[in-house]
Amino acid sequence: MLATRQQDAATPSSSAAEVHVGRDGWLFLTGGRNRVLDQFGRPGFSRRTLWRWRSHLAERVRRSARFGAAYLHVVAPEKLTIYHDAVDGLAFDPERAPALRLRRWLRGSAGAKALVDLVGPMRAARWEVPLYRRTDTHWTFAGCDLAYRTILARLDVAPRDDIAARRLQETFSYSGDLATKLTPMPVETVENCRFESAARRIHANGLLSHFEAAGRPMDAHIGAHAVFRNDDPEADPRRIVIFGDSYAQHSAMSPVATLTPFLADRFREVHFLWSTSMDWDYLAEVRPDVVIGEIAERFMIDAPARNMRIGALADLAMARKASV
């Protein structure tokens, strides 16, 4: 199926050709360092990279099982993958989405059962309620809630159905990460995604603490490490370790929703490490019940290192930011 509708000429345009303006103001990342649109083309996502991911997931399943943990792999889909029918004036094949190609390449692999499919549920629900911000690459509250429920279903854990009732009620104007690349910059009205929770942060590494003390908490990206504890009697007693990116996050974001706060609200202990690689020494020390590898679909183009200590990654991140 090809998305080929015409773009509204009255909408903003991007001189950098990184963002496509679709129907009804929906913005889509198409360029950037990861060459997002090219990943949907031919040859697109290389077979070599798909083989590497197949090998990675099989290894993660096998090594996690050695200390009694289940491994789940979560790909946060691109908006192009989910809202492909709102992409006017752009020819591409949404069935060549990297997340879907990975699912096909995992058939018969030890890692096949580890993959949590978000594409199917999100495509089915995409027009019931917005799952992504129109001006951002990230999820709305509803989108994150759907991802959270899909993950919990794989763990045979009932979700907390009262999260929505605990949301902090606030509406404000917002221009997301895609809007900032356009002139004029589009603005949308959004609702707060934060909610009250019994989960409390009990650890932050030096990288995260440094940028929080400097009043720049959102500058703590790769290498950030936080641990959350939930003493609610209804919390699931298991320990979760998440290796992820901005779709999981070490903090609850206001205009967009992220997975870590949702999972920390449900489980006794949740560790978040901003990394696409596994830190096997850390896992051997913590011995979680579940390991989750979360990655944005566009980042799959770079297969990660097989092992990376979070401390070393944080040091590299600090050194790089200090030199800027």
- pLDDT more than 70, % of the chain: 94
- The answer as to whether 212 is a domain residue is yes
Task: Please tell me the pTM assigned to this model.
Answer: 0.93
Q: Measured at the alpha carbon of residue 166, what is the angle toward residues 165 and 168, in degrees to the nearest 5?
A: 110
- The answer as to whether 8 is a domain residue is no
The rounded distance, in Å, linking the Cα atoms of 94 and 1 is: 7
pLDDT at 324: 56
pLDDT > 50? residue 253? yes
The rounded distance, in Å, linking the Cα atoms of 260 and 249 is: 6
- The answer as to whether 163 is a domain residue is yes
pLDDT at 7: 33
The rounded distance, in Å, linking the Cα atoms of 194 and 182 is: 27
Per DSSP, the three-state class of 51 is: helix
pLDDT at 204: 97
Angle between helices 47-66 and 98-105 (to 10 degrees): 60
- The answer as to whether 173 is a domain residue is no
Query: In the block, which residue shows the tokens 């159905």?
Result: 161
- The answer as to whether 317 is a domain residue is yes
The rounded distance, in Å, linking the Cα atoms of 39 and 90 is: 14
> Around Cβ 304, how many Cβ atoms within 10 Å?
18
The beta-strand segments (E) located in the chain are 19-21, 27-29, 70-76, 115-116, 171-174, 188-191, 199-204, 225-230, 236-244, 267-274, 290-296
pLDDT at 321: 75
- The answer as to whether 30 is a domain residue is no
The rounded distance, in Å, linking the Cα atoms of 159 and 265 is: 10
Mean pLDDT in the chain? 92
Instruction: Say which residues have a Cβ less than 8 Å from residue 305's Cβ, sequence separation at least 6.
Output: 277
Confidence band, pLDDT 50/70/90 cuts, at residue 17:
confident
Mean pLDDT to the nearest integer, 18-41: 94
Q: What is the pLDDT of residues 173-231, one digit of tens each?
A: 999 999 999 999 999 999 999 999 999 999 999 999 999 999 998 889 999 999 999 99
Mean pLDDT to the nearest integer, 146-164: 97
Q: What is the pLDDT of residues 81-122, one digit of tens each?
A: 999 999 988 889 999 999 999 999 999 999 999 999 999 999
Please give the residue range of the domain that contains residue 232. Answer: 46-131+138-167+193-322
Mean pLDDT to the nearest integer, 273-280: 97
pLDDT at 1: 32
Confidence band, pLDDT 50/70/90 cuts, at residue 40:
very high
pLDDT at 91: 86
Per DSSP, the three-state class of 168 is: coil
- The answer as to whether 41 is a domain residue is no
Residue type, 210: H
H helix and E strand count, the chain: 9, 11
The rounded distance, in Å, linking the Cα atoms of 184 and 167 is: 31
- The answer as to whether 302 is a domain residue is yes
Residue of 229, 311, 304 lying closest to 271 (CA atoms): 229
Helix residue spans in 33-97 (DSSP H): 47-66, 79-82
CA distances from residue 164 to 3, 29, 141, 196 in whole angstroms, order as listed? 34, 29, 8, 10
pLDDT at 5: 30
pLDDT at 45: 86
Residue type, 135: T
Q: What total number of domains does the chain contain? A: 1
Residue of 240, 227, 236, 255 lying closest to 294 (CA atoms): 240
